[in-house]
Amino acid sequence: MLTFIYRQQVEAMLVLEAKLKGKQSQYNSIDEAIRTALFIRNKALRHWIDNKDVGKNDLSSLCAVLAKEFDFANKLNSMARQASADRAWLAIARFYDKCKKKKPGKKGFPRFKKRGHSVEYKTSGWKLSADRKHITFSDGFNIGKLKIVGTRDLSFYSIKQIKRVRIVKRADGYYCQFCVDVERTELHQHNGKQIGIDVGLEFFYTDSDGKTVENPRLLPKSEKSLKRKQRKVSKCKKGSSNRRKAVKKLAKKHLKVSRQRKDFAVKTARALVQSNDLVVYEDLQVRNMVKNHHLAKSISDASWSLFTDWVDYYAKVFDTWAIAVAPHYTSQDCSVCGTRVKKSLSTRTHKCHKCGTVMHRDHNAAKQILAKGIKNTVAHFLHLEI
């Protein structure tokens, strides 16, 4: 499989996030709006399951029917109801796409959700203050005026550029995400440097030059604290206020680890793309890899998919290339002579019996990945010219 991220300026949604400050009564109203959005999403999914040949427009029409049938659904802004139906259709469309492509394994049949964490408004139902430091939600839930706390200045963007506003509930409070329609590009000094990377557990990644980036292992560092907080949750009586407090503390700790993981992935991907014109990486099927129960926790903690997603994103931003190649035999084939040297996962050194090459297996794999990416790129463009 070969995926190209072409060098072009593309318009994309820039998501700016800020924390919301308000009264407890306002937070309760937000919770009610989130539950209503989830209700509409599940109702739209049920309508698709029960009826044949249901399309996106049918789900949109269902929103008006639900508003007439349920008073609490009528409280939610009409565009927020449409956005909830869009979420259901997104899951359905993803399922259809996997079926058409005949992907092996489960196709991800859309499921009902028990808990919601966000409600999304489009271009109505909200209003920013003149100084862009407050936002007012004006639908039937009477959320009212909330303070925006964050470092990103919304004054750089016009109201017309803000296509969607999403309220997100997290363990440490409520956040507002602004989806801004803006073309993001950054200057990049092209140096012609090409690099292949092999992600792993011993090192987060090893590049084709032999340089390594340490694996942060964020989960093991916090595991002791997480286990202690989990024990407190288990000891508390179900339904008690002490249990709710303990669950909140545990959720905050998990959220912190998740944010640390994302921060590391973003900064590492940006630095990698910024210093190279071509980055080649393996198109790993992490879903299948975590079936190995001995390594599942470590693989999940490494977040390779998150990292490669950000590599793709920054390749667009910096006007460079990012290529994903098939991972088959990259660790087995010699990067010098191409001889296949079979080795187990525990064997960390590559020793070629034909040409005598000796190097770390991840370094050899990274060189092989780069060669594979360059070969496929040349073949791709030759095919285009023909």
> Mean pLDDT in runs of 10 for the chain (386 residues)?
37 83 96 97 96 92 95 95 95 92 83 94 93 93 93 87 94 94 85 92 93 94 95 94 95 95 96 94 88 89 94 92 91 88 88 89 93 77 48
> Does residue 173 fall inside a structural domain?
yes
Co-location of 177 and 221 in the same domain: no
Co-location of 246 and 342 in the same domain: yes
What stretches of 201-284 show up as alpha helix (H) in DSSP?
A: 218-235, 241-274
Co-location of 37 and 176 in the same domain: yes
CA distance 33 to 74: 11
Residue where a domain terminates, one of 151, 182, 213: 182
> Does residue 119 fall inside a structural domain?
yes
12-21 β-sheet, strand order: 118-121, 162-170, 173-182, 12-21, 144-149, 134-137, 126-128
Co-location of 166 and 18 in the same domain: yes
Residue among 277, 242, 25 nearest 145 (CA): 25
> Does residue 115 fall inside a structural domain?
yes
Co-location of 358 and 216 in the same domain: yes
Co-location of 201 and 149 in the same domain: no
> Does residue 289 fall inside a structural domain?
yes
> Does residue 358 fall inside a structural domain?
yes
What is the predicted pLDDT for the residue at 383? Answer: 52
> Does residue 187 fall inside a structural domain?
no
Residue where a domain terminates, one of 182, 206, 224: 182
Co-location of 104 and 142 in the same domain: yes
> Does residue 227 fall inside a structural domain?
yes
Co-location of 247 and 173 in the same domain: no
Number of other residues whose CB lies within 10 A of the CB of residue 345: 11
What is the predicted pLDDT for the residue at 2? Answer: 38
What is the predicted pLDDT for the residue at 11? Answer: 44
What is the predicted pLDDT for the residue at 375? Answer: 85
* Residue 316 structure tokens: 């667009």
DSSP, res 53: T
> What residues make up the domain containing 70?
3-182
Co-location of 99 and 25 in the same domain: yes
Q: 236: buried, middle or exposed (CB in 10 Å: 19+, 13-18, 0-12)?
A: middle
> Does residue 108 fall inside a structural domain?
yes
Residue that is written with structure tokens 């496929």 in the block: 376
What is the number of domains present in the chain? 2
Residue where a domain terminates, one of 134, 156, 182: 182
Co-location of 37 and 66 in the same domain: yes
* Residue 151 structure tokens: 């470092």
Co-location of 100 and 200 in the same domain: no
Q: 158: buried, middle or exposed (CB in 10 Å: 19+, 13-18, 0-12)?
A: exposed
Co-location of 199 and 178 in the same domain: no
Q: Please list, in sequence order, all residues whose beta carbon lies within 8 angstroms of the beta carbon of residue 372, skipping any fewer than 6 positions away.
A: 196, 280, 325, 326, 330
Number of other residues whose CB lies within 10 A of the CB of residue 200: 20
